[in-house]
């Protein structure tokens, strides 16, 4: 992809998604499938407009209510997609009907697949140095047409954030994948977006660990059944069972309130 507009220090124009949103849990969500989302990504890259992709699952819906700062950072994204099966199921119960789940890791691979044909420049931010190195190898192996504009592990201090953002800006990347845990990920993206001047910023969570082979993703049948979260718990029960029990219970409670909320 060309980077001719990087000669200016002006921030990119914020992309306006043409599709109408639906509101659930007080959040505006784009009822968009994978193909349409990838078209939007490509449009932003070619026109050099700014797109921050926000991914929404049950845990994030709950945590956004607990943490207003996280809520502000997520809702500042100009494309918010349903990453979790529970959110899609809730939309059907509420008669909102999101078309499909767009998992963050699948969107990442979709971007890389298109980038393989179109020569996207990609910067990978986050995870350990070992995982970061492995991600570079995996992208070069599976998507040789993608240009690795740069990479940086996620273990940097708050004082180093400005330097990291400057390095990303200097890379002239078309896409920035951010593999940092919430809410640090959303805070970093919101704070440094205009400085980094990358058209497309996508927070990919733990996708790097899966792509690098450190964590095994649930089989397709589990994904289709909406039970990917349970597969993760079974892999790391000591760390994850309580988190999912609490967040899933709170999400169900929020859904019940949404069902009985008066129509304005």
pLDDT tens for each residue of 33-80: 999 999 999 999 999 999 999 999 999 999 999 998 889 888 989 999
> Would you state the pLDDT for residue 1?
58
C-alpha–C-alpha distance, residues 155 and 8, integer Å: 30
Q: Would you kindly state where each structural domain of the chain is located, as residue ranges?
A: 15-211, 220-259
Mean of the per-residue pLDDT values of the chain: 90
DSSP lists the bridge partners of residue 202 as 53, 177
pTM of the shown model: 0.89
DSSP symbols for 14-65 = EP---SPPEEETTEEE----HHHHHHHHHHHHHHTEEEEEEEE-HHHHHHHH
- The DSSP symbol for 225 reads T
pLDDT tens for each residue of 54-67: 999 999 999 999 99
């Amino acid at each position: 992809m060309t980077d001719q507009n990087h000669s200016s220090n002006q921030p990119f124009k914020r992309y306006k998604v043409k599709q109408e949103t639906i509101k659930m849990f007080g959040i505006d969500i784009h009822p968009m499938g994978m193909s349409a989302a990838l078209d939007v990504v490509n449009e932003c890259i070619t026109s050099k407009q700014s797109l921050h992709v926000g991914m929404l699952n049950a845990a994030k819906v709950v945590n956004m209510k607990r943490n207003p700062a996280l809520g502000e950072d997520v809702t500042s994204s100009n494309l918010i997609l349903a990453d979790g099966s529970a959110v899609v199921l809730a939309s059907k119960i509420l008669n909102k009907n999101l078309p499909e789940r767009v998992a963050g890791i699948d969107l990442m691979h979709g971007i890389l697949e298109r980038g393989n044909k179109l020569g996207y420049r990609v910067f990978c931010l986050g995870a350990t140095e070992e995982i970061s190195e492995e991600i570079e190898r995996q992208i070069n192996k599976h998507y040789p047409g993608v240009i690795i504009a740069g990479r940086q592990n996620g273990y940097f201090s708050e004082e180093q954030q400005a330097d990291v953002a400057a390095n990303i800006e200097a890379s002239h990347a078309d896409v920035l994948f951010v593999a940092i845990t919430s809410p640090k990920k959303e805070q970093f993206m919101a704070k440094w977006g205009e400085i980094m001047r990358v058209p497309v910023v996508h927070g990919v969570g733990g996708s790097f660990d899966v792509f690098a082979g450190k964590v095994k993703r649930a089989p397709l049948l589990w994904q289709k059944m909406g039970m990917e979260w349970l597969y993760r718990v079974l892999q790391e029960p000591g760390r994850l069972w309580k988190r999912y029990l609490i967040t899933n219970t709170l999400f169900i409670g929020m859904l019940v309130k949404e069902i009985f909320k008066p129509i304005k």
